[in-house]
Amino acid sequence: LASARYGGKPALKHKVGGEWVDVSYQQLDRTVTELALGLVDLGIEPGDRVSILSHTRPEWTYACFATFAAGAIVASIYQTNSAEECHYVLHHSGARAVFVEDAEQLAKVRAVEADLPALEFVIVMEPADADGSTISLEALRERGLGRPQAELEERVDGVTPDAECLFIYTSGTTWPPKACELTHGNYRAITSALETQDIVRVDECVYLFLPLAHALALVVQFLVLDVGATIAY
């Protein structure tokens, strides 16, 4: 819907080689569609859990919305977590797939994956850090290109307001961390409520540096993209 409303407007901005690069709403939609169909091609089913272990960057947003579109649930992990803390979230959520940012984050998964029987797929955002036992983000997009668009439309149509979209884990200061299970209806209601306050306007750019594993950063992401503004990473 955002792609149809805002088209060529910049949805995201990030630096490549010191220069700002824009990603339009149309480009965002295309990337998310291809990645979501890639997840479908892997066999990810509605209600499955998919984790994201990365700093805040455009690929986090791609992975997040692709997971939602496939009908699956994002179980977010802070990029500062230790291997043991990553294991807790991956094991507790029963994640079948995890998006990792780079070699540093991949090493954490490698250290604990032997004790993660549900984990089947590791998808790496940085192309140079993918290896023979992982899937690069581009390879996942290519897999999605081989699937019919109708499959994704069926997945999206099957998402109800009561369907879970996010498992957000607490900090664990009162050990163990608790998984807050949030629904699509919950975040739709929060986003709509914030829009009535005119916090972010269509022509504005919001600089997002909070970890996207955090509830506030996620609602900022939803709000900005729903009103047609721009996220700068």
d(Cα 177, Cα 87) in Å, to the nearest integer?
12
Give the pLDDT confidence of 29-88 residue by residue, as tens digits: 999 999 999 999 999 999 999 999 999 999 999 999 999 999 999 999 999 999 999 999
Give the pLDDT confidence of 164-173 residue by residue, as tens digits: 999 999 877 7
Provide the β-strand partners of residue 145: none
Percent with pLDDT over 70 in the chain: 100
Indicate whether 175 pLDDT > 80: no
31-62 exposure pattern, b = at least 16 Cβ within 10 A, e = fewer: bbbbbbbbbbbbebeeebbbbbbbbbbbbbbb
Specify the pLDDT at position 4: 84
Q: Are 92 and 116 in contact (CB under 8 A)?
A: no
pTM: 0.95
